[in-house]
Amino acid sequence: MLSRLLFFKPPKAKASCIRNYAHGLNLGLHASSQLRPRHLVPQFRRTLTSITSNNILKPPPAGLQSKARPPTTVSWRRRSATASTRPLYASRAFASRGQPPFPPSIRTADLTTIDLLLLQADDQAEMRKLHHAASTQGFLYLKHHDIDPSFLFDLASGLFSLPVSEKMKYDMGRSGHYFGYKPRGSQYIDANGTPDKQEYFNLSKDEILGEAKGAKDQPHALRSQWDNLETFTRQSHETALTLLGALSAGLKIDPSLLLSRHQLERPSGDHTRVTWTPPGIDDNAITFGGHTDFGSITLLFNQLGGLQIINPEDEEWMYVEPRPECAIVNFGDSIVKLLGGRVHSGMHRVVRAPGDQSRLPRVSVAYFMRPNGDVQLKSIMPDDRSSTQAKAMTADEWILHRAVHRNTMNYKGRDSFILSKGTEHRDLEENNS
Ligand SMILES: O=C(O)CCC(=O)C(=O)O
Ligand SMILES: [Fe+2]
């Protein structure tokens, strides 16, 4: 791996040098599956640290700094590789799990498929396609990623079959704290306060990377997978950064505007979520009500159907068919606010899995990328500057706001429902942002 890194030229300009070096770092990481930045020779690590600390990346605040890890977060491109030169995609292993097929007769959303390899190769047409998908449906399929969520699907049954009293030791509660366990029924799904039907664990990026103070303990099923969780977190974040970089190109803005607001090493609400819905749900039941995601980019991994989005043409709900070789990507409220409404945060919900799939427990895995916690959620677009001087909620405040108001125990009628909504209800939202 070192010989690969030495091919890279010494730094020229700040931004490009960071990309080249971090790019090289990533190439090394992926070429040699289990190598991580902490395995780099100290000399190279020092070089990277001094480059990145040169006013482009702010170091994390004291107390949150990782001793072993250089900040590598500005990269968004890796050197392109063709499908034939790349190792077996993790998603292929994820594909063969023998679940009943998604029923072919069901109406599904016709989402654009974006090729991550083409984005990494700076393919202009693919970047335009990404921009178009982001600004219309706000949902897309992403192929040729190398994120492997299969270990989380494997551990889900053991994790969620723990006694409720055991899982409740990790309860996230009702205060808006958003990491830990969410029991079934603790969020409501509609204006009447109907409880949801799924449980999940949210695992903080900062805790997984060892950078959060006071990190919570975790059940053994998760704790024993910490290395895999770290790899999953890093790869998901890196993939989301690639999307942000390519989207910036589509929007013709300086990529650092978005990249500097989504740094891996900065404290943020990013997390991995493993969701479990038991079989035996009533036909037509909604297990997770219509919502938009709070953050910037969600990478979702599904084996079973059940996810639905609203068709912008006729406003009807349509299934999103799981494609095991693809992640489902959607854009959330935070990036809508940062880009002054130039992308769409798609409304979605989850219903019982269709057909024979409904006989299985439904597991889904997601990585939620959010802005750094202290980022103000207002437009960063150069054209919007004059209208965005007022102070806005920070990314952390926005999570708190939405999470508190979704909690069943905080439900006080329609007003609570209105307060729980995101950017899909712009008229409502203007009153609470
Ligand atoms: O389970 C799914 O397919 C989607 C879950 C979801 O929308 C969420 O957790 O925000
Ligand atoms: Fe969602």
Closest listed ligand to the CA of 304: 1
Please check whether residue 76 is in contact with residue 255, taking contact to mean a CB–CB distance below 8 angstroms: yes
Q: What angle do CA 145, 129, 363 make, to 5 degrees?
A: 40
Which ligand 1 atom is the nearest neighbour of the CA of 364?
1
Pocket residue to mutate for ligand 1, from 293, 350, 369, most atoms within 8 A of Cβ: 350
**Three-state SS for 337?**
helix
Please check whether residue 354 is in contact with residue 102, taking contact to mean a CB–CB distance below 8 angstroms: yes
The response to whether residue 407 sits with its C-beta less than 6 Å from ligand 1 reads no
What is the mean pLDDT of the segment spanning 322-328? Answer: 95
Please check whether residue 332 is in contact with residue 268, taking contact to mean a CB–CB distance below 8 angstroms: no
Closest listed ligand to the CA of 292: 2
- Beta bridge mates, 201: 181, 274
Q: Which amino acid is at 382?
A: P
Greatest Cα-to-Cα distance within the chain, rounded to the nearest angstrom = 63
Whose CA is closest to atom 10 on ligand 1?
A: 293
The response to whether residue 309 sits with its C-beta less than 6 Å from ligand 1 reads no
Local confidence band at 385 (pLDDT 50, 70, 90 cut-offs):
low
**333-370 per-position pLDDT tens digit:** 999 999 999 999 999 999 999 999 999 999 999 999 99
Give which of 18, 141, 52, 125 is closest to 91, Cα–Cα: 141
Give which of 200, 171, 184, 197 is closest to 363, Cα–Cα: 200
Alpha-carbon distance 327 to 135, whole Å?
18
ipTM topping 0.85: yes
Res 427 pLDDT > 60: no
Res 75 pLDDT > 70: no
The response to whether residue 307 sits with its C-beta less than 6 Å from ligand 1 reads yes
What share of the chain has pLDDT > 90, as a percent? 54
Alpha-carbon distance 189 to 178, whole Å?
17
The H or E element spanning position 395 is: helix 395-406
Which ligand 1 atom is the nearest neighbour of the CA of 273?
9
The response to whether residue 241 sits with its C-beta less than 6 Å from ligand 1 reads no
Which ligand 1 atom is the nearest neighbour of the CA of 362?
1
Res 277 pLDDT > 50: yes
Local confidence band at 209 (pLDDT 50, 70, 90 cut-offs):
very high
The response to whether residue 273 sits with its C-beta less than 6 Å from ligand 1 reads yes
The response to whether residue 91 sits with its C-beta less than 6 Å from ligand 1 reads no
